[in-house]
Chains A and B, each alone.
Chain A
Amino acid sequence: AQSVAQPEDQVNVAEGNPLTVKCTYSVSGNPYLFWYVQYPNRGLQFLLKYITGDNLVKGSYGFEAEFNKSQTSFHLKKPSALVSDSALYFCAVRDLDNAGNMLTFGGGTRLMVKP
């Protein structure tokens, strides 16, 4: 079975400071990992994904994520937070080696960036 955990319900950061939103996953095969962002009353928007290659993945709006196989983590990062980054962030995973699996989403982390 595949699963994903976002250990923090909320992350608070001051504008201009670096931010990290944590994600850990569990799959039996190779992971296919995503980050999505949800603004209030909107659908999810794709930020970035990792399937293979460089462990540091760059995405939309200046976000990046670091894949760490040994720690089974895929943390989302941004060097300098903006107030407009305040939103709900979802990590998702799929086991590439299990053809029957679809995407599994984490419970979400609310990011609050204060001026």
Chain B
Amino acid sequence: NAGVTQTPKFQVLKTGQSMTLQCAQDMNHNSMYWYRQDPGMGLRLIYYSASEGTTDKGEVPNGYNVSRLNKREFSLRLESAAPSQTSVYFCASSEIARLDTQYFGPGTRLTVL
């Protein structure tokens, strides 16, 4: 039981490049989330998926897109990376949205030059 896994662990991009961050959970959770963590700002919600087939914007969705591929997988895509997207990205999952404890992956450290 691996919990929440994320790939890659580290990534360096040039401005304008695109990439997809992958997340998978093996806890049969219904809800999944993408956060970004910046120093002194805590975690800010980018997008979430309350259940398979649905996605919704969080606090800071601009510049990102998501896909809930199936119940296990939730990907985050940067279409045209910008230096302001340099951050640590965390994926999380919970059994149901809003009312349940979230479990986090190990994170992806992204640098955009």
Chain A residues at the B interface, C-beta cutoff of 8 Å: 9, 32, 34, 36, 41-46, 49, 90, 94, 99, 101-103, 105-108
| Cα separation A9 to B44 with both chains bound (whole Å) | 18
Q: Closest A residue to B104 by CB, please name it.
A: A43
Secondary structure of the B contact surface, majority rule: loop
User: Given contacts A9-B40, A94-B98, A105-B42, could you give 12 more A-B pairs where the C-beta distance is less than 8 Å?
Assistant: A36-B104, A41-B107, A42-B106, A43-B4, A43-B104, A44-B43, A44-B90, A44-B92, A46-B102, A99-B98, A103-B102, A105-B43
Most buried by A among B42, B48, B58, B104: B42
CB within 8 Å of A: which of B37-95?
Answer: 40-45, 48, 58, 90, 92
24 A-B residue pairings within 8 Å (CB atoms): A32-B99, A34-B101, A41-B106, A42-B107, A43-B90, A43-B106, A44-B43, A44-B104, A45-B104, A46-B103, A49-B101, A94-B98, A99-B98, A101-B98, A102-B45, A102-B48, A102-B97, A102-B98, A103-B45, A105-B43, A106-B42, A107-B40, A107-B41, A107-B42
